[in-house]
Structures are given as C-alpha cells and as structure tokens.
Amino acid sequence: MVELASTPEMNRLSQIRQLGLAYLVFPGAHHTRFEHSLGAMHVAGLLGSSMCLDPKEVLLLRCAGMLHDLGHGPFSHTMENLFKDRLHKDHMELTRDIITGEASPWDLDWWDSDWKDLSRGRDIPTILEGADLSPKEVAALVCQEGRSGDGPQKVLGVEDGQAFFPSKLYLFQVIHSPLDADQLDFLLRDSHYSGVAYGIIDLDRIVATATLHHGEFMVHRRGISALEGMLVARSLMYSSVYFHKTARIAECMLCRAGDHLSDEALERVWGMTDGEVLRFMRDQGGLAGKIATMLRFRQLFKSALRIDSEAIAGNDEASLPLKTMTKDLWDERERRRTEKEIERKASVQEGTVIIDVPDPGLTLSEPRLKRTDVKVLGDRPALLSTISSLARALQRRPPVPWCLMVSCPAADREAVAKVAKKVLIDDRP
C-alpha cells in the first residue's frame, strides 16, 4: 500500500483540497484528497474485516478505497459541472483510465528530462498486478461497472434454510452506497477540520455491526442508532458546511472565471492542482483574472437575493410559481439569459451576476445525499426507511437550505437585488 500511495497520481491529491474553497469560510478546512483517500482505504478495510471477507477481497477494497478519487480536478467537485459540460470530461472515467494504465496526464511537466536521477517508480497497474489484483477489477469496483460482481448467477445458495443467488454486491456497496467507506471517512474528517461538530458519527459501532448476508453488505439491527446518527450527520453537514452560502458563492465565482477561459486554457486547468489554478487564471486576464484575484484575497461576491427551500417545499398555490421558476433556471441557457437580463437592467459589468440553483449539481456530485436505503438485518433484512421514522424524515428534508441565490460584487448588491426580485419574481407569470 505504501508503494501505491507513493505514485505521482496519488501524490497529486495532496495538492487538492478536500472541500474546495470552503477554507475561505472554515479556516481549518485545508485537508486534502490524499488524506481522505488514505482514510477511505482504512475504513474499507475495517468494513471488509468486520464482514470476515477473504484477505484478498479486503485488499481489493483497500486499494479501491485509496484510488477512488484519482480523477478529481482542482478544488475537488467545484468545477466538475464545467469540465463535464465544456470538455466532456468525467472524473470517474479518468479515474478508471488511470487505474488501468490508459491515462496519466498530470505528472508529465514535473518529470523533466533534466532530472535523470529521479524515478517515477512503478505505475499503478503494475503495482496492483504485483499484489495479484486485476487493475480492471479494481477500476470496475471504483467506477461501479458490472455491479453484480460476478455477472448473472444461476446457482442457488442456501443459508439458514433460505435459498438465494450468491453475488459479490457487497464489494460495490462498501465503495458505493448510502453507507460506504467514502462517506464514513469524509464526514468525520470534514467535521474535524472545519470545526463543525455536526459530522461526528459512531464509526466504531457501524463497523462492529457491519455484516454480510446473502451476498449483501448490511448493518445488524444493533447498529440502527449509529446508522441514523450517520444519516443525520450527513444531512446537517450538507446544509451547514458543503452548501454554506458563502462557500457556495466562492465556488460559483471560480466556475464563472472558468467560463471565461478558452477551451484550451480550461483543458490546462483540468490537470492543475489548487495552488496552480488561481495564478494561471490571473495571468489570463479579463474577468477570469479579476475573479481569481478576488478569490486570492477573499473579496467575495455577496448574496443579493435568496429564496429558502422551505418556500417551495409545499404544494400550495403560493409555492408553484417559485417551483416553476427554479426548474426553469436549471437549464443553463435560461439561467445565462436571465443573468444577462439582470446585468443589463442593473447596469453592472457583464458576467458579474451569478444565479445559483444547486439541485442539478447535487445529482452529479453527490447522488447519495438523500438515499437512506441501507439494509438492516434483524429477523429478516429490511430497508432502514421502512423501520425508521427518522430516516423517512431525512428523505423529506431539503438538503440545501436555499433553492436559489443571486450573487454579485458587494458594490452592486443593492441594484442587483432590486432588479433580480423584479425579473425573477414580480414579473414572472
């Protein structure tokens, strides 16, 4: 595992902040994807051992946990939508290609031919093969490919008098599920470094009650309270940290700077680390350079208009126009058109009004957020949501405290607030 952690691709993650630009709000949040990857590796191993898996399967889970974030661009999830829309790049696809040896684009500039005495060491596929693991199998586990584990099962297994089709779904569930090694580590880690106590979970209890039943990863009913606590922690961390309004404004500013880069420049940004991006954007000049400088010195846009999620939570007539408006603005072209209309009517610089509607981004960057379908093993397996009223309540709780926010430079706040209210609310049918 030490050799795997020493590869250039893994060490790049030590230059990528786990929480993107959240350090502008939570000064301690400078921890990195590298630390998180080691933590996910450790937790995956604990879960595998608790389920009494074969040592080779535990090793497979540990490697998948360590390598699961290899494809992240700078500032983690911040520019993920931008890279996907403009460059058609997906960090999971790139992760798969790095693990299998089909791509490794990031370290080339550093391994200059002048440094003859430096060696990259063995690459990731070679290291995995040396441990008797298939790089394709590790990549499939990380990227959720072939979820059944062994393909269609035709031979029934029998356990405690019950017949079932054996599978290795449990391997995928340890890496990708509503209760996986990734989440268990980042909740504890992000809570610690941000200084927000909401992410505290009883990891020891969850690991101790992890069990394998009919080829699936489950939690024994003795761990229900710890499981509920994890789901509450996840919900609160999203509303109070991951989608803190000021941190979100900073992230939107960085994406707006990226919007004003050429495709060629954005392609270069994709392969950079956090420390390289702002300087590169500043050197590009224009609005991208201005915003990068503002972020560097924490001169952030301010919220001019915000609509709370509770305003569209009901089904009454008053909430319907706001629901319709929010859904309309999910479309990027409509959102850009509305931003330009507000800029023109408020007489502010083009590109400096940002409308943020977070729901589509949540689907891409965190599809697990509202899932509570963890299986609990009692007399028979059951989904947590069928036996826990708390889990059902969390499914209804808005993951972000606001559904729409308009931000702009502080000097333009009053003018933009007035125009945005008129354009978005007063003048809409």
- Taking 50 as the threshold, does the pLDDT of residue 314 lie above it? yes
| For residues 198-209, average pLDDT | 94
pLDDT tens-digit readout, 384-397: 989 999 988 888 78
31 and 170 share one domain: yes
Gap between the Cα atoms of 178 and 218, Å rounded: 11
Verify that 391 and 405 share a domain, yes or no: no
Beta carbons of 245 and 301 less than 8 angstroms apart = no
240 and 324 housed in the same domain: no
Residue matched to tokens 């535990």 = 58
3-state SS of 59-118? HHHHHHHHHCCCCCCCCCCCCHHHHHHHHCCCHHHHHHHHHHCCCCCCCCCCCCCCCCCC
Would you say 206 and 44 are in contact if contact means Cβ atoms under 8 Å apart? no
Residues 178 and 318 in one domain: no
Q: Count how many domains the chain has.
A: 2
CATH number for the domain spanning 39: value is 1.10.3210.10
Residue 263 lies in a domain: no
Report the alpha-carbon distance of residue 415 to residue 347 in Å, rounded: 8
Averaged pLDDT for residues 218-246? 93
Asked if the structure places residue 366 within a domain, the reply is no
Residue 351 has pLDDT above 90, yes or no: yes
335 and 392 assigned to the same domain: no
Task: Tell me the two tokens of residue 237.
Answer: 């961390």
Assigned domain for 83 exists:
yes
Location of structure tokens 């268990």: 184
- Residue 379 belongs to some domain of the structure: yes
pLDDT at 218 over 50: yes
Residue 153: pLDDT band (50, 70, 90) is very low
Average pLDDT rounded to a whole number, residues 282-306: 94
Terminal CA-CA length for the chain: 60
Mean pLDDT (whole number) for 14-38: 95
What is the per-residue pLDDT for 318? 60
Residue 337 lies in a domain: yes
pLDDT at 146: 57
Residue 156, pLDDT score:
44
Residue position matching structure tokens 């943020």: 356
- Give tens-digit pLDDT for 58-108: 999 999 999 999 988 899 888 888 888 888 878 888 899 999 988 765 555
Whether this model's pTM surpasses 0.85 = yes
pLDDT of residue 195: 94
pLDDT on residue 315: 63
pLDDT(305) > 50: yes
Mean pLDDT on 418-425: 91
Residues 215 and 343 in one domain: no
Return all residues near 214 (Cβ < 8 A) that are at least 6 apart.
Answer: 157, 159, 162, 164, 166, 381
Angle ∠(148,226,384) on CA atoms, nearest 5: 50
Residues 351 and 419 in one domain: yes
Residue 278 counted as domain residue: no
List the domain range (segments joined by +) for residue 321.
302-358+401-429
| Residues 68 and 182 reside in one and the same domain | yes
- Considering the domain architecture, whether residues 22 and 40 belong to the same structural domain is answered as yes
In a domain, residue 344? The reply is yes
Q: Percentage of the chain surpassing pLDDT 70? A: 86
Is residue 240 domain-shared with residue 346, that is, in the same domain?
A: no
Domain membership of residue 288 (yes or no) is: no
Same domain, 325 and 228: no
Assess whether pLDDT exceeds 70 at residue 164: no
Q: Please, which contacts does 341-348 make with residues 24 or more away whose CB atoms are closer than 8 Å? A: 341/423, 342/406, 342/416, 342/419, 342/420, 342/423, 345/419, 345/422, 345/423, 346/412, 346/415, 346/416, 346/418, 346/419, 346/420, 347/415, 348/408, 348/409, 348/412, 348/415, 348/416
194 and 335 assigned to the same domain = no
Please state the rounded mean pLDDT for residues 297-313.
87
